[in-house]
Amino acid sequence: MSYVGPDFDPPQPRRPRRRLLTVALAALVPGALLGWLVYEAVGGSDGGPDSPVGASSASGGLFTPAESPDESPTDDDKKPSPSATPSLTGPTSSAPAATGPLKGKVVVIDPGHNPNNFQHTADINRKVNIGTGWKECDTTGTSTNSGYTEAKFTLDVAHRLRTLLEKQGATVKLTQDGDRTFGPCIDERASIGNKADADAVVSIHADGAGAGQRGFHVILPGKVKAGSADTGPIVASSAELGERIAGNFVRVTGSAPSNYVGDGTGLVTRKDLGGLNLSTVPKVFIECGNMRDTKDAAQLTSGAWRQKAAQGISEGIVSFLRG
């Protein structure tokens, strides 16, 4: 999410510290502890704002020679043919239905932004209603200092996550697959999950904070009842989804929760995000790391790490759906 604008304003009040225990317990396994030790050995902290790529620029991380990114193309990086009129239900995989513990479950993956947004600034700047007010349709997202874009990152992780979930038997839909001229707008992204009657929706992002601000965080919907927004029925289930994703993300990736929002819990509650406000099904956002920090950027641009990120998110979703 990584930008100041339509769907990412300054962080709202932090979650109660009681959620720290949930994430910490999920992380207390040897692999995660090793990740924490490595993080503490190399981490740092200093702040800075985030801003959109293609507007006033935004996040990224500068690579050192030892941290050269793995950006070799894979099947997941290949773009499908553009389409200006996709179905509101969102693209879905053509893979045959599988059997498994998630058979009968529907998961919607929302890859943040769109690789083509920067070519359609007038369209993405159009305001849409999010219940509590009006925000731009979408933004360009952020990028690392070397130019690896958030839109490319989110699609790659979404493809990997879709493959993992389909192997568990889930029906998986994407809100966009690089197959649109821009967007979809934030209200339409929520609508896609709602119309699919999804059992879980996860919006994938990477942040654009200042260098030294590291780690991931999961954004949960706050209780909102205004206009067309009514999150009351999904607040508790979304919080459970977010906690399970955060705990598994720590365990699988070894990444620490954000050192700049969330009070060390890796969980943040927001009431200003259209994608959450307008959802009628359990939904969370995950900021997988900060593209503007050197060390986080080295992870985000690594194909091996992106696979771990997808695995951590997948295991959190599976844990949530299996109860």
**Cα 170–Cα 273–Cα 204 angle in degrees, nearest 5:** 40
3-state SS string over 203-262? EEEEECCCCCCCCEEEEEECCCEECCEECHHHHHHHHHHHHHHHHHHHHHHCCCECCCCC
**243 is annotated as an active-site residue:** no
Dihedral Cα 184, 280, 111, 126, nearest 10 deg? 30
Asked whether the beta carbons of 160 and 259 are under 8 A apart, the reply is: no
DSSP state string for 292-303: TSHHHHHHHT-H
Q: Which residues, 6+ apart, have CB-to-CB distance to 260 below 8 Å?
A: 45, 47, 209, 213, 214, 215
Q: How many Cα atoms are found within 13 Å in the side-chain-facing hemisphere of 196?
A: 33
What is d(CA 278, CA 267) in angstroms, rounded to the nearest whole number?
A: 20
Dihedral Cα 296, 301, 306, 307, nearest 10 deg? -130
What is d(CA 167, CA 127) in angstroms, rounded to the nearest whole number?
A: 38
Q: Which of 166, 243, 287, 315 is catalytic?
A: 287
Catalytic residue numbers, as ranges: 287
